[in-house]
Amino acid sequence: MRRYLLSSLFQSVIVLLGVLFLVFFMVRLTGDPARAMLAREATPEQVAEFRHRMGFDRPLVVQFIDFASRAIFGDFGNSLNYRLPALPLVLERLPYTLYLASMALVMAVAVAIPLGLIGGANPNSTLDLIGRGVGLLGQTVPTFWLALVMIVVFAVWLRWFPTSGSDGATAIIMPAFALSLGTMGRLVRLTRSSVLEIMGEDYIRTARSKGLADRLIFFRHALKNAAIPLVSVTTIQFGYMLGGSVIIESVFAWPGLGRLAADSIAIRDFPLVQAIAFFTSLIVIALTVLSDLLYALLDPRIRYE
Amino acid sequence: MNNPVAALPQSKLEEAPPSRWQTFSRLFLRDKTGLFGLFLFGLVVFAAIFAPVLAPHDPLEQDLKVSRLPPAWMEKGNWDYPLGTDKNGRDLFSRVLYGSRVSLTVGFFGVLISGGIGLLVGLIAGYVRGKVDTVIMTVINVILALPYLLFVVVIAGVLGRSLLNVILIFGVTDSPIFARVTRGEVLRLRESGFVESAISIGASRWRILFDHILPNLIGPLLTVATFEMSAMIFYEAGLGFLGLSVPPQVPSWGNMLEAGRQYITIYPWISTLPGVAIVICSLGMNLMGDWLRDVLDPRLRRAKN
């Protein structure tokens, strides 16, 4: 088990380096970060001056080492727009995004897991059909479109929720639901198919032949084994939601990281964008390590290795 | 007398086993949802090919006299503009028809590029194995662990709006999915009986690759391609929605959603109706993908029977 966890930690260090590399080169894809960051109207002199000020005229290797060694300590330079260090700006918005993504995850899990479990144990029942419908909707309805339709129906026509913003306790409901739909669908499908598969396994047949009650078989044997893949998928989905928040937060004017990212891209504030991308990835990496740990605790095959 | 073959009716012996195509079409026709998916997808392809014939108006033609007209079935609607018009008086129906061209182009070429890169990388990883495989898989896991949408949005923001950029972005960033599937299948096929037999009778590496491995990759890759094409169409619309996809004057579903977004509370049809086209397209592709997976994966086929 110790070896398993060490290799998980080692991998996350590699992922971290990979992320640094990507975040660094992302803004250099056109070859000239100074041009990418300045408005189109900038004169060649302004571009040259900016290039020198930002250190873009140094060799790439030097730039990368400088960038990486600063980034490790949370220094991403100043936001071009706010003229403030990027990291505090990111941290200020972070709680909003974490709140939104957690709510969305809770909604997705609360709907998907029961539907998937019941559907998998009773294929073709009414609840199974509902579950499969949710699974299909999650795959085929674009979140940003759902968000717009929800605004029209629930905010404009029915006036149940505010159209946008984060004021009041109900403001979270629409953005969280829109963000959760894709994950909800994926979790229903996964839960259902893993329960279906497990119900056909030998150990379930053994339990049946021992005369165990269906209910007991389901809760003691099927549920526990179905939970194992769900743990890792759920953490991956959380990372997915952090990415998806770029669009959803923009639709609902939710003051989180996603909207900050979309706004900063629009005005070419790339130092801030780099900070957001790195920080969001850091959260995802931390979650992956956590899910590896949970995996080890849940699956005896890893625990006793 | 005891010969079991002689006991069979003559007709049974002469009857050729169903060809691959026959099994294929029989399984296909049996699955009604798969047919429905094909129908929906066919509708989108039809719209894309015959857009110039079907469209009642030039998708770029502006006529401010008819700006923000509601759809025909609503009050003040007009059958000259079946789905209404946008703020510049452009016909939404014609723009939706032409929009399918952008979506299908991005999806098709995006999948072609990512499938090509993924196939090559996956073959190398699965066939060479060892350290090469470890390095490739580490890189793939780094990319797949990232908050995907955030990175795609940032890269699109750096590169600027163009159809080619969008195709390249999806073609490159989506290739790890294809690489992972290819590698997994190659590893599985290598251990299979027929590859072992081929090796034992002295078949060359290339012969095994072209005669035994590649043909067996078509099924799984085609299934993944269907889902990934649908995902790309989704993400392209998402980029368009943030104003980061094809140039603003190009009629694409994402651009239409973006253009109508600010009027969502007053003229809701401008940005909600194009979304229906996205739902039809992705519903069709997902139903087709589910069906392809069932038909092309013999293990699932057996389980179903």
Quick check: B157 and A141 CB within 8 A?
no
Domain match, A157 and A192 both: yes
Mutate to test the interface with B, among A145, A199, A241, A259 (most CBs of B within 10 A): A145
Residue A38 domain-assigned? yes
Q: State the Cα–Cα distance between residues A273 and B150, nearest whole angstrom.
A: 10
Least confident of A64-68, A191-195, B259-263, B292-296: B292-296
Residue A166 domain-assigned? yes
Domain match, A66 and A101 both: no
For B120-153, letters b (16+ CB in 10 Å) and e give ebbbbbbbeeeeebeebbebbbbbebbbbbbbbb
Q: How far is A165 from chain B (nearest CA, A)?
A: 15
Taking CB atoms and an 8 Å cutoff, what residues of chain B touch A104? none
Q: State the Cα–Cα distance between residues B54 and B93, nearest whole angstrom.
A: 10
Taking CB atoms and an 8 Å cutoff, what residues of chain B touch A276? 150
pLDDT in tens, A270-290: 889 999 999 899 888 888 888
Domain match, A125 and A58 both: no
pLDDT (0 to 100) of residue B1: 45
DSSP for B55-112, written as a single string: -SS-TT---GGGTTPPPTTSTT--TTSTT-B-TT--BHHHHHHHHHHHHHHHHHHHHH
- What's the token pair of residue A66? 């400088």
3-state secondary structure string across A226-295: HHHHHHHHHHHHHHHHHHHHHHHHHHCCCCCHHHHHHHHHHCCCHHHHHHHHHHHHHHHHHHHHHHHHHH
Q: Helix, strand or coil for residue A78?
A: strand
* Closest chain A residue by Cα to residue B268: A152
* Closest chain B residue by Cα to residue A142: B234
Residue A298 domain-assigned? no
The domain boundary, picked from A22, A54, A71, lies at A71
Expressed as residue numbers, the domain containing A184 is 96-268
Residue A162 domain-assigned? yes
pLDDT (0 to 100) of residue B18: 64
**Mutual orientation of helices A143-150 and B269-296 as an angle, nearest 10°?**
140
Per-block mean pLDDT, blocks of 10 residues, chain B (305 long): 52 59 69 87 93 84 78 76 80 90 95 96 89 88 83 90 94 94 90 84 85 87 92 92 90 89 84 90 91 72 41
**B18 in the Ramachandran plot: left (φ > 0), alpha (ψ -120 to 50) or beta?**
beta
DSSP for B22-64, written as a single string: HHHHHHHHH-HHHHHHHHHHHHHHHHHHTHHHH-SS-TT---G
Average pLDDT over residues A226-250: 85
CATH number of the domain at A174, please.
1.10.3720.10
Please say if the pLDDT value at position A236 is more than 90: no
Taking CB atoms and an 8 Å cutoff, what residues of chain A touch B154? 26, 261, 265, 273, 277
Domain match, A165 and A263 both: yes
Domain match, A119 and A66 both: no
Domain match, A191 and A42 both: no
Domain match, A57 and A173 both: no
Quick check: A30 and B243 CB within 8 A?
no
Taking CB atoms and an 8 Å cutoff, what residues of chain B touch A258? 150
Confidence class of residue A97 from pLDDT cuts 50, 70 and 90?
very high
pLDDT (0 to 100) of residue A94: 93
- Give the total number of structural domains in chain A: 2
pLDDT (0 to 100) of residue A28: 84
Q: State the Cα–Cα distance between residues A281 and A71, nearest whole angstrom.
A: 13
Domain match, A112 and A236 both: yes
B147 touches A at CB < 8 Å:
yes
Q: What is the dihedral of CA A143, A149, A150, A151, to 10 degrees?
A: 110
Sign of CA dihedral A28, A34, A37, A43: negative
Instruction: Give Cβ neighbours of residue A107 (< 8 Å, ≥ 6 apart).
Output: A176, A177, A180, A184
Residue A273 domain-assigned? no
Residue A294 domain-assigned? no
Residue A277 domain-assigned? no
Domain match, A16 and A155 both: no
The values of phi and psi at residue A73, to 5°, are -95, 15
Q: State the Cα–Cα distance between residues B102 and A285, nearest whole angstrom.
A: 35
Domain match, A109 and A186 both: yes
Q: How far is A234 from chain B (nearest CA, A)?
A: 13
Confidence class of residue A91 from pLDDT cuts 50, 70 and 90?
very high
Q: Which percentage of chain A shows pLDDT scores above 90?
A: 23
pLDDT (0 to 100) of residue B43: 94
Please say if the pLDDT value at position A3 is more than 50: yes
Residue A289 domain-assigned? no
Nearest to A244 among B149, B257, B279 (CB): B149
Q: Which long-range contacts (CB under 8 A, 24 or more apart) does A16-22 make?
A: A16/A282, A16/A285, A17/A68, A18/B139, A18/B142, A18/B143, A19/A277, A19/A278, A19/A281, A19/A282, A19/A285, A19/B142, A19/B146, A20/A67, A20/A68, A20/A71, A20/A278, A21/A64, A22/A277, A22/B142, A22/B146, A22/B151
Q: What is the ipTM of this complex?
A: 0.85
pLDDT (0 to 100) of residue B238: 92
B96 touches A at CB < 8 Å:
no
* Closest chain A residue by Cα to residue B275: A145
Domain match, A202 and A159 both: yes
Question: In which residue are the tokens 């625990």 written?
Answer: A303
Q: State the Cα–Cα distance between residues B251 and B95, nearest whole angstrom.
A: 5
Domain match, A65 and A134 both: no
Taking CB atoms and an 8 Å cutoff, what residues of chain B touch A29? 155, 158-159
- Chain B from 117 to 136: CB within 8 A of any A CB: none
pLDDT (0 to 100) of residue B177: 94
CA-based nearest residue to A185, from A267, A247, A244, A249? A244
pLDDT (0 to 100) of residue A106: 94
B85 touches A at CB < 8 Å:
no
- Of A120-124, A173-177, A194-198, B82-86, the range with the highest mean pLDDT is A173-177
Paired strand residues for B85: B91
Nearest to A145 among B145, B257, B287 (CB): B257
